């Protein structure tokens, strides 16, 4: 039981890191960034590259993957979203162009690493066990939980307590007002993508470390989950996404205990369905326009 709870909090932390970036881009730009799962995968592969090819230790690979995916996010915006934004294209076109980037990037990764599961070179990924009472727990997961919570606090401070966060929130609430106020909108969007993608990539590295496994499609299962988490939490609400992520993690682990394993994915659908019926605006969502 205790181990199940531990794993639920662990997977909830990964979902939270992933979903918070997804929700951030949605709240600022009103687009669903379908390349976010790709960024997640890229984070894991950036770490693999740093460790296996450059021979760097894991603790350097983590910040490297964060920065690399953050920069990739800025590039993604320049390629997939900025041109559409300039032309005032509808949000649907942004979904399609981000999907196109996803397909291209997955192909490129498969060219280099193939499409199968890979592991990190032996002994390069931290792994240790901790004993609490009668239970034996994977220590890395505890570190990941701690890091995720710390990052969520940093993100909260960034969004709520800094000038950049104020600009990002202004942009999310009223883009016209943001421009009139002299906010450098493109710079604020670039920062948004850096943060969003950096966190998404970090979630990828951390999950790959925890399972010592990565593959070019590892982000796909997160797509539906991020969407679920965002709807459950309230579209674009960051605290809502975090709460939704832990709820989903708990629910999934509980469903594994009490339901056949095949129903794990169905759980996300079920939760989504229930929330849409009972509270269409999500847990922390208010009016459709209420964000961050």
Partner 1 sequence: MRYGAVEAVHGISFTAEAGAVTALIGANGAGKSSTLAAISGLVPATGHVAFEGRDLSGSAPHAIVRAGIVQVPEGREILARMSVEENLLLGLRGSRDAVHGAYERFPILAERRALAAGNLSGGEQQMLAIARALLARPRLLLLDEPSLGLAPKMVAAVFEILADLKRQGVTMLLVEQNALRALRLADRAYVLDLGRITMSGTGEALLHDEAVARTYLGG
Minimum Å distance from CB 197 to partner 1? 23
- Residue 185 in the binding site for partner 1 (CB under 8 A): yes
Check: CB of residue 219 under 8 Å from CB of residue 38.
Answer: yes
Q: Does 184 bind partner 1 (CB under 8 A)?
A: yes
Binding residue (CB under 8 A) for partner 1 from 122, 129, 163, 261: 163
Q: What angle do CA 248, 103, 110 make, to 5 degrees?
A: 95
Spatial separation of the C-alpha atoms in residues 42 and 36, rounded to whole Å: 10
Among 51, 105, 124, 167, binds partner 1 (CB under 8 A): 167
- Angstrom CA distances, 124 to 46, 55, 212, 246, stand at 14, 9, 10, 29
Q: Which of 181, 257, 266, 274 binds partner 1 (CB under 8 A)?
A: 181
Q: Is there binding between residue 180 and partner 1 (CB under 8 A)?
A: yes
CA–CA gap between residue 239 and residue 84 (Å, rounded) = 29
**Using CB under 8 A, which of 51, 183, 242, 271 touches partner 1?**
183
Does the protein bind partner 1 through residue 77 (CB under 8 A)? no
Record the tokens describing residue 151, joined without a space: 């990052």
Q: Is 136 in the site for partner 1 (CB under 8 A)?
A: no
Q: Is 285:235 a contact under the CB 8 Å cutoff?
A: yes
170 touches partner 1 by CB under 8 A: yes
Whichever of 37 and 285 has its CB closer to partner 1, that residue is: 285
How far is it, in rounded angstroms, from Cα 2 to Cα 133?
10
- Contact between 118 and partner 1 by CB under 8 A: the answer reads no
Strands (E), the chain: 129-132, 135-138
Separation CA 237–CA 94 (nearest Å): 20
Give the contact letters, 263-292, x = binds to partner 1 (CB under 8 A), - = no.
Answer: ---------------------------x--
Helix (H) or strand (E) holding 102: helix 91-113
- Judged by CB under 8 A, the stretch of 53-61, 64-72, 136-144, 177-185 that binds partner 1 is 177-185
Rounded Cα–Cα distance for residues 268 and 207 (Å): 19
Instruction: Rank residues 28 and 268 by Cβ distance to partner 1 and give the closer one.
Output: 28
Q: Nearest distance from residue 77's CB to partner 1, in Å?
A: 16
Which CB sits closer to partner 1, 127 or 174? 174
Report the residue number, 82 or 95, with the smaller CB distance to partner 1. 82
d(CA 224, CA 240): 16
At residue 50, the 3 state secondary structure works out as helix
User: Among the candidate windows 36-44, 167-175, 206-214, 222-230, which touches partner 1 by CB under 8 A?
Assistant: 167-175
Residues interacting with partner 1, by CB under 8 A? 163, 166-167, 169-170, 173-174, 176-177, 179-186, 290
């Amino acid at each position: 039981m205790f181990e199940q709870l531990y794993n639920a909090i662990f997977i909830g932390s990964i979902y939270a890191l992933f979903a918070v970036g997804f929700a951030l881009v949605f709240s600022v730009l009103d687009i669903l960034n379908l390349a976010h799962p790709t960024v997640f995968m890229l984070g894991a592969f950036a770490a693999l590259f740093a460790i296996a090819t450059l021979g760097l230790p894991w603790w350097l690979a983590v910040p490297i993957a964060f920065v690399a995916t953050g920069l990739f996010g800025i590039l993604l915006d320049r390629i997939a979203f900025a041109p559409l934004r300039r032309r005032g294209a509808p949000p649907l076109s942004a979904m399609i162009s981000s999907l196109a980037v996803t397909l291209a990037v997955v192909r490129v990764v498969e060219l280099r690493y193939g499409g199968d599961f890979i592991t990190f070179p032996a002994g390069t990924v931290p792994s240790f066990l901790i004993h609490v009472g009668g239970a034996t727990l994977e220590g890395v997961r505890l570190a990941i939980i701690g890091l995720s919570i710390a990052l969520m606090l940093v993100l909260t401070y960034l969004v709520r307590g800094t000038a950049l966060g104020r600009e990002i929130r202004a942009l999310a609430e009223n883009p016209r007002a943001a421009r009139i106020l002299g906010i450098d909108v493109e710079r604020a969007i670039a920062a948004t993508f850096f943060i969003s993608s950096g966190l998404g990539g970090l979630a990828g590295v951390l999950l790959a470390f925890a399972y010592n496994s990565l593959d070019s499609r590892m982000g796909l299962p997160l797509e539906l989950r991020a969407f679920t988490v965002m709807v459950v939490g309230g579209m674009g609400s960051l605290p809502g996404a975090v709460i939704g992520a832990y709820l989903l993690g708990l629910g999934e682990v509980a469903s594994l205990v009490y339901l056949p394993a095949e129903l794990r994915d169905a759980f996300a659908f079920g939760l989504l369905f229930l929330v849409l019926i009972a509270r269409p605006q999500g847990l922390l969502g208010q009016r459709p326009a209420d964000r961050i």
